[in-house]
Every structure is written in C-alpha cells, then in structure tokens.
Structure 1
C-alpha cells in the first residue's frame, strides 16, 4: 500500500529566507583570497591543466590588480568588476587530493554478476524493441525529429514503474520532493557551471525575440533545485537539506560514437535527480551517502554494474570529486554510464549566494547532486539483461508492484507499427 505522498512534501522544506531579492546586478562572492594569491598560482595552474578545462589564471591576476584599485569606487566602474568576475568564473573548482594524481578511471567495486548468456546470444536494445514493437525512434515525420523516441505500451508502463519505484525509495530516505520548472534564466544555469552560447554548449536557449531574453531549457533538475535556493540563508541545524525532483531534461548534445547509438544519448528524457545542500564539514560524507543511495536503488534491478572514481580530466568545472556508475549492457557487449554523483563544494553556492550560519560563523553551503534514475539508459540495461529468447522481458520483482503486478513485458499488439504513406502535394 503506497503511503500518502503529500505529507512528505508539505511543510517539510524549511522556509527559504532571502537576504536580498534576485537582481542581475548581484555579484558572486568568489574566493578571491585563494585564486588571487600568487603563492597559490602553481597549484591553480596545475589544477587547470589536469582538469583540461578553460581558464587563464595569468589574465585573472592581471585583472585583479586593476580590480583592487577600483574596489573603493567600484560602483563607478561596473565594467571592471564584470570583466574580472567573468574571467575568474572560468576557473574550475579545486580537485580532491585523493584523485588529483589519477590519470585514469579507478574501479572501486562491482555489483551483481553478469548474466550468463551461453545458451543464446543477447540482443541489443533496439533489436529487442523492434521485434516487440515497443519503441519508435525513426520515421517520426515532423513530430520531434532526430534523437527522439516514443516508448509504446508496456515499455511506457515500465518507465513509469521505474520513476515510481525511485520516488518511493527516496521519500523513504527522507528526500523532499519538489516539482520544478524546465525553463530557467540563463544566469541560474551559468552559476551552476554550465556554458551558455558556446560552440560546445549542451543547452537549448529560447529565441530572445519571441520568448523573452536569457531563457533556457534545463538540462537537469539539479539546476532548478539549485535555483530554488538562490539568495537564501540557512541554519546549520537545518542541514543537510535533501531535495529531489522528477523532470524532463533537455540536451543539445549529439554523438556519432557507435556505443551511444539509439536512445543512449537523446535530446530529451526523464530523470529523477537528487540534490543536497550541506555544511562544509559534511559534504565528503554526503557524497558517499549519495553513492550508497544510488547503489541501493540499482542493486535490486539485477544488472551488473561497476562503481568508478573519476579522474580530474573527467570532472566538470563545478565538481570537486565525482563517482560514476556504469551498467553492463550485454546486447552492446559494453558498459554504459547510468548515473553520476558530484560534490561541488562551494563552487555553485558562491555563485548563487546560498549561505548558512553555524554559531557566529557564516559560510557558503556545499552542494552535491546525483542521478537517481535516468530512464533511457536504465531501460537499456534492464531489457538487455532480462531478455528472454522466447520474446519477453522479465520485470525485476521490486518494480512489479508499480506495474500492476506484471512479471513480464510481451510484444505490443495494441499500438500498430508505423507505416508511412506517400502524399502528393
């Protein structure tokens, strides 16, 4: 019997106290004492190098000399401040000492054994779903184009079962769920560490002429949840604050890599995301907590996976440390990433002005995020692992209560296969 959901949501998220209303003139409070201290230059330069990121420390230090002179009257020189802050914002977060010398991925451990397919050759997801008429990824006409999909019949039900299962597990772990917007100001995305309007951006930006300036589609609920806490102040006793959301995620990224074919990398998909704001001395433990939560979520689903400690060059600019979990996809004969979790320390909170008070001391919170369920890749792992040569898919026991007790997915005969007709214009 499902517990009432609303009681977990209403009244449990502390009221957010804004120290000041959001304004485009609000400037982040970067750790200038660290980044602009010449004694730290070798460490910072090395960090930029091993992270393979952008950022020019020499330019930051040169601009800081000008910025210091204008501080007493910086309101008269907004361009100086803007230029300096823009340049320093390009520098990546620090890197955890335990991984700073790692040149490659470190496998921490494996979970579940690989299924034995000695009796038959496993099929790849696209072939399984083609035979069972469960997915439509081509011949979409004018509907949604390249890198899109329809889930049909029981596969659409399995998607909903995955989401409901994940939500229930997180609610039972005292995560507070938030329904989030998918359209955000570009400043929120940039302050979370995303690049906007660059050659390699993953972000869809709306047409400013018709839809208003500086609006973007969210790539993950992490951005919306971080934006919810923007310009807020908390008490240490109320932390950690554990939030989660189900949202659509929009990614402009494309790939021609054969391992990322089909629905592995798409332009929009559903994801359940975890987000935690905590004190500085708790964040490393909270990263381990998120990783353990992910392992507890995925283990009962029955596919083999490995947990990875990622090297510096695999860290995005906000991340201090990151773990990935890859699932074995037997039809592809390869591992594929199904989740990640990151400790961003105060990289995002300094940009978003999220603080906490502990006694007499005020500090910036540390933010962490983690994938609880990215639907397309989870479905690839599930169908390829639990396929049956007789043409059905076994549903893991933990998901069966969320899909009307069904034990198997069978061929879809309800939604007809698509047939294109030639229309003379």
Structure 2
C-alpha cells in the first residue's frame, strides 16, 4: 500500500496528466462579490485596513464599460484585460478574527526564556563573525554587489546544518520534498500576489534582450510550488497536500533602517519553505498546524521568541502588493547583540486568492471547487544565523551549537575562529 506522501505525489502526477485544464488567460476572481455595489462598503473598509491597496471605484467603472462592450467589438479583449488587471489589485478578504486589530499585532505567546549573560555584553552578529573570520560582506570587489555576503568555514556548515535539520523534520511530518526552479514567468509571480515591472518591486527581471522576454528571479519557493500545481484538479480524499522546498530567494528590496542592517535584509538568501493545499474547511486548521510546526522547529534551537497574530495593515504592503493574505502569523526572535526582536518566520493563509488565478481545484461528489493555499517559513537562513550566534555566544569567543543541530555538523559542540581562509586584503594593481 502506498504511503500518504506517495499517494499525494501520485495524485499531482495523475491529475496533471489526465485532468489538465487548458491554459486560461484570466483569473477566476469572484466578480459577483467585488462588483456588487451592496458589498462596496465592506470592500472599502477592507481596503482601508490594508493601507489603501486597490481602487474599488475604478474597478466598478471599468466593469460597467467592459460589461457593455460587445464580444464582437475589437476592443473587447483589451477592455476585459484592463478590467481584470484592476480587479486583481483588490485585496483578499481579511479574516474576521483580525479585522478589529489596530496598528499593533496581538501576542499569541512567547517561547524559551531570554538568556542571562551576566556581566558580559552580547556582541552583534557582524562583530562575532568578524572576530571569528566567519563571514565577508565587504572588500568583495566586483564579485557581487550591495547586500551580498560570503559565509566561511563553520558558519557555512551551520547554514547547511539548518537546511538539513529543517528538511529532515518536515519529511518526518509527511511533507513531500520538491526541487524547484528559480526563474519564473510573470504570470506565476502575479498570480501569487507579486507585482513586476513597476517602479518599486521586489522582483529581479532578466534582460529580455539576452534571456528572452518575461523571465524573473523567484522571491520564494512558494511561487514555484504554486506554479507546479497550476491547472490541476485534485481528489478531496488526498487533501491536504503538504510540500516543502529549499531554494535561493532573490529580493531587489533594500533598506536603510538601522534594525535591518547587515545580513538581516539581503538580495539573495537560502530558505526552506512549506506549502500546503487544502479544502476551504481545512485551511484554518492547516494555518495553525504550520505555525505549530515552525514553533516545533525553532524551540529546540534555544532562541527566545514571540509569536504574533498580525493586524490587517501587515497583510498587504502597498509598495510590493502582497495582497492575498487572509491571516498571517509572524515569529520574531530576540537578537541579544542588536537588543531587538527580528522576524525569522511567518505563515499565511491565502485562501483561494492564488488558486483562482492559477486554476487549482479539487473534486468531490462530481463537483469542483477551488482549493485554499497556505505557506510558511521553515527556515530563513540569514536571520536564523543572526539569532543563533547572538544567543549562543560565549564571553571567551566560542559559539555553542544547539544539540538539535550537532548531528548535522559532525557532532561539533562549538564554533571557533576560522583559520583556513585568510583575511582578505585589497591591493592596488598597477596598469
């Protein structure tokens, strides 16, 4: 008998082969809801909660024009495309539990106690790695640009240990591991809630003159995993489907905020992502499951954390148009050297926002409905490394390795100074 994981994997393959939908140009958004003037006040309030994302009045105006345009009119396809583009900018419904939250998130609970360092003042990550020669972020010449880095020696080992630790735990919990592409077309990115080709975007685009049109670097494996399931039909009996992937994430964003200095916000990093597909009545329970999974992964690492239920305005950022979130939990770790909390993980319920745009459905009793999709961060490497090194630093200069990670680091208990790679010195080259 097939295991549940194998059966679910075969479910993806079976339905992609047998029940593949033809490609559809337009997302199947709930037009009846968004364009019904009786719902206007509710939608406007949701837009206000989400910091003004979307223009309902413009959507309604374009809907009336599109609706009155004849199918035989040469402008019909143009009007339809414009209407759906504007409609896609409206945010998803906000979960009822968080509608009344104000600016601040709600604290769910805290995990692990803060460590007492006594008379020792904890050092910041950048100073620790400088003293131990474990990272390089400057003097990189033309190798890479701003917000880039090299991990050296045992810090590079620790990165790999975190990945292996996270993947191993997820496989034991029934997740299916998928290796994903990092280059995607705009249709996948926009269907997942990202915007491209605008003044302020997180997405790197490839040069169309050299690499072909409409190619972009993925910001997270969530997009590739969602794209894998595009135009598929799934049996209800085989849901929920739980996938995980390790990928490089590319972000064009920059920040001059002091709290986001160093490798806290960088242009590329490695992340282990969780992605789930459920029926609508399973998605709230799955969101709690993803949050609990993150807590189970992070708690043995010994870092102090707080779990936050995020308010509506944090569910969509106007600069980047992450519009789809119905509900979102963040986990923040205490970073002693920075003397501040920093986000290390989040998990989100996107309901049917992505599935309507990517046409991912399930079948039950001869009826088809849209699935719900959810995602969660199992490990975002740079920020986790900051939290680990700052938490487990020793006044004598060593870094204790949490017991949970030691099996993935050849049973090492401590990290020490790296002497295999010499300090880099710049020298002038005479022409």
| TM-score, normalised relative to structure 2 | 0.94
Residues 358-367 or 304-313, more deviating: 358-367
Q: Distance in 1 between the 2:70 and 2:155 partners?
A: 59
Q: Distance in 1 between the 2:311 and 2:161 partners?
A: 34
2:396 aligned with 1:390, yes or no? yes
Aligned mate of 2:409, from 403, 406, 418: 403
Aligned mate of 1:12, from 9, 17, 39: 9
- 1:360-371 matches, cutoff 5 A: 360-371=366-377
Q: Distance in 2 between the 1:173 and 1:53 partners?
A: 39
Q: Distance in 2 between the 1:420 and 1:113 partners?
A: 43
Counterpart contact for 1:272–1:372, Cα < 8 Å: yes
- 1:204-283 matches, cutoff 5 A: 204-283=204-283
Counterpart contact for 2:28–2:356, Cα < 8 Å: yes
Aligned mate of 1:347, from 353, 363, 373: 353
Q: Secondary structure at the match of 1:210?
A: helix
Alpha-carbon distance, 1:119 to partner = 2.7
Task: State the match for 1:310 in structure 2.
Answer: 310
Counterpart contact for 1:16–1:232, Cα < 8 Å: no
Alpha-carbon distance, 1:26 to partner = 2.0
2:108 aligned with 1:105, yes or no? no
Alpha-carbon distance, 1:237 to partner = 0.8
Alpha-carbon distance, 1:17 to partner = 2.4
1:324-349 Cα offsets, whole Å, 9 max, x none, are: 00000000000000000000000011
> How many pairs were matched up?
418
Task: State the match for 1:56 in structure 2.
Answer: 55
Counterpart contact for 1:67–1:81, Cα < 8 Å: yes
Task: State the match for 1:150 in structure 2.
Answer: 150
2:412 aligned with 1:417, yes or no? no
Q: Distance in 2 between the 1:9 and 1:141 partners?
A: 48
2:374 aligned with 1:375, yes or no? no
Q: Secondary structure at the match of 2:146?
A: coil
1:82-115 Cα offsets, whole Å, 9 max, x none, are: 0110010000000001111111211110000000
Q: Distance in 2 between the 1:279 and 1:374 partners?
A: 28
Q: Secondary structure at the match of 2:164?
A: helix
1:58-79 Cα offsets, whole Å, 9 max, x none, are: 1111121222234765897111
Task: State the match for 1:324 in structure 2.
Answer: 330
| TM-score, normalised relative to structure 1 | 0.95
Task: Check 1:22–1:362 CA distance in 2 against 1; reply closer, same or farther (3 A cut).
Answer: closer
Q: Distance in 2 between the 1:124 and 1:267 partners?
A: 21
Task: Check 1:95–1:235 CA distance in 2 against 1; reply closer, same or farther (3 A cut).
Answer: same
Alpha-carbon distance, 1:173 to partner = 0.3
Q: Secondary structure at the match of 2:418?
A: coil
Counterpart contact for 1:53–1:92, Cα < 8 Å: no
Counterpart contact for 1:240–1:278, Cα < 8 Å: yes
Q: Secondary structure at the match of 1:12?
A: helix
1:296-351 Cα offsets, whole Å, 9 max, x none, are: 00000000000000000000211000000000000000000000000000001101
Task: Check 1:16–1:188 CA distance in 2 against 1; reply closer, same or farther (3 A cut).
Answer: farther
Residues 65-74 or 386-395, more deviating: 65-74
Counterpart contact for 2:66–2:76, Cα < 8 Å: no
Structure 1 stretches of 4+ moved >6 Å: 7-11
Task: Check 1:9–1:388 CA distance in 2 against 1; reply closer, same or farther (3 A cut).
Answer: farther
Q: Distance in 1 between the 2:20 and 2:26 partners?
A: 12
Counterpart contact for 2:20–2:233, Cα < 8 Å: no
Task: Check 1:267–1:9 CA distance in 2 against 1; reply closer, same or farther (3 A cut).
Answer: farther
Counterpart contact for 1:30–1:350, Cα < 8 Å: yes
Alpha-carbon distance, 1:16 to partner = 5.0
Task: State the match for 2:90 in structure 1.
Answer: 91
Counterpart contact for 1:16–1:229, Cα < 8 Å: no
> What's the Cα RMSD here?
1.7
2:72 aligned with 1:66, yes or no? no
Q: Secondary structure at the match of 1:190?
A: helix
Residues 54-63 or 279-288, more deviating: 54-63
Residues 46-55 or 133-142, more deviating: 46-55
Alpha-carbon distance, 1:209 to partner = 1.1
Task: State the match for 1:3 in structure 2.
Answer: none
Q: Distance in 1 between the 2:71 and 2:255 partners?
A: 49
In structure 1, stretches of 5+ residues that fail to align are 1-6
Q: Secondary structure at the match of 1:398?
A: coil
Q: Distance in 2 between the 1:9 and 1:133 partners?
A: 44
Task: Check 1:403–1:22 CA distance in 2 against 1; reply closer, same or farther (3 A cut).
Answer: farther
- 1:187-206 matches, cutoff 5 A: 187-206=187-206
Task: State the match for 2:180 in structure 1.
Answer: 180
Counterpart contact for 1:16–1:233, Cα < 8 Å: no
